[in-house]
Every structure is written in structure tokens, then in C-alpha cells.
Amino acid sequence: MRTRPTLSWTPTGDLPPGTTDLGPVTDALAGGGVLVLTGAGISTESGIPAYRGEGGSLTRHTPMTYQDFTGGAQARRRYWARSHLGWRTFGRARPNAGHRAVAAFGRHGLLAGVITQNVDGLHQAAGSDPVVELHGSLARVVCLSCGAAGPRGELALRLEEANPGFAPVAAAMNPDGDADLTDEQVADFRVVPCARCGGVLKPDVVFFGESVPPQRVEHCRALVDAAASLLVLGSSLTVMSGLRFVREAARAGKPVLIVNQDPTRGDRHAATRIALPLGPALTTVATRLDIPVPDAP
């Protein structure tokens, strides 16, 4: 029997409380060698909602799973119709102060790397380089038959041509770029195949229920091994893809610091959790370190 992937996690009462003391984060960055792991919470100030927490999209939206996407044409029609509409808004999102602060820390040589669970490309847009996209990127598409990959912009143009006038009003947008639409709104949407072989196109992202590529996991493990500490920003760490690196860092005796307003599944492995909004918190840390954070363009 097929089981659903883990989408939620309920905090227990024995978790350590969050603080507002940014001292440990400032000290860790001053020492250098910090590996940053980010989640959807770092992009909320850019207008992209988080999955979890108060107002998170999972309170009203069940994400597409890999099994559903590959299991039938109707599910793919629903996904691509909603994603095509969501992409118009998602693609206009811009880096916020949190992204820009992380990029500034990297430019000043304080980071051992950046791993993001997000698929929005905002770290790169802010100037972070390199960035490991743990769950892939919505900016790329890949064919499940021939493996051909291409930019999302090209697919968007093909979908526009196949669906002239498609402009339904969405109830909301989700962190995976999926807009909330009804079955009636997507019923006549036309999905286009791979231009090379006619196969099924999929966004180059790791869906819920799909595994992160092993070589990507090993690369992240190597970054954890080489880092002096791990700084988690805006992730509930509900899914194992990110939580495993927190556990590995803690087992190796490396300090784990979390900045997230709500409790996380990694709190018991962390030296501290700072319950503050990310943009202001990271800007404050940068100021303490005398590192300028560029204003939004």
C-alpha cells in the first residue's frame, strides 16, 4: 500500500523554548565556517508563503506528490495549470533582506556554503554563489522519458500558446509556485509534451514523496563535515531531507543554531533557537559584524 509523505509535525512539550538573543549567531558568523541551511521561511518576506506555521499553505493546500504526478494525466493537467498561473507571480518575487544578508556573509568569507530547501532561486538572485538547491529549481523543466532539460521560460511560452486567454483568478499562491484553482478552472487546460521526444515534462524539483538525488545528498554531507557550525534559517525541519543534516552536525559536535519563529523538529539537536523574523534578525547580525547589507534594488 502506498503511504503519503510526511507533511506535518506536531511539537512536543519538552522542546527548549526559543529566545531573542542573536549573540550565538553573531559569534558563530564572526568565527567563520558557517554552513547555512534555509527553508521556506526565509522567502516569506518576498511574498512567497511558507508551508507550515500560522498561515502556512498546508493549512489549506495539499502539495502534489511524485506518485500523483506520474500516476495520471489528470493530475498533471491540474499541476501544470496551477503551476503555470502561479509561475507568473512566483517569477516576479525578489530577494528580501534575509537573502541579501546571507549573500553579504558569503562575500565576506564567513560561510562554508549555502544549502536551500527552496525552489525559488532567490538566494542566487541576491548574489549567493554557490548554492546547493536541495529540492531543485522551478526555473528548470526536465523530460521523464529522454532526460532533456530546459528553462521554465520556454515552457511557459509554449503553455501560453496552447492555452490562449487562460487567466483564472487564483485563491492563493503556494511556496512551490502552485496557485490554488478549482477543478472547473483547470478542466480545459492543455498540457504540452517534451519538444524532443513527446514525453512527460516535470519541473526540475523534488516533489513530496520523491527522493533527493544521492549525489546531492553526499555533497551536502561533505559541506556539513567541512563546516564549523550549521545555521538553519526559516525551516521547520519537518522532512528528513533537511533534518538529517542537523542530526549529522549535532552528532559531530558542531553547534547547530536555528532562527525560526516557530518550534522546529531540529530544536532538540540545536544549541539555541532564536524566535525572530529573519530579515530584521539577519540585518541586525550584519550590523553587529559591520557588514553592509545592500538595499533592495
Per the annotation, binding residues are 117-120, 143, 146, 194, 197, 234-236, 278
- What residues are designated binding site for Zn(2+)? 143, 146, 194, 197
- The dihedrals phi and psi of 100, each to the nearest 5 degrees, come to -70, -35
For the chain, the 3-state helix, strand and coil shares in percent, each to the nearest 5, are 40, 15, 45
Residue pair 39/237 in contact by the 8 Å Cβ criterion: yes
Residue pair 152/203 in contact by the 8 Å Cβ criterion: yes
| 84 assigned to active site | no
Catalytic residue among 61, 99, 123, 135, which?
A: 135
- What residues are designated binding site for NAD(+)? 117-120, 234-236, 278
Residue pair 36/233 in contact by the 8 Å Cβ criterion: yes
Please tell me whether residue 273 adopts helix, strand or coil conformation: strand
Strands (E), the chain: 34-38, 111-116, 132-133, 136-143, 149-151, 201-205, 229-233, 256-259, 272-274
Q: How distant, in Å, are the alpha carbons of 142, 180, 200 from that of 81?
A: 17, 10, 15
Catalytic site residues? 135
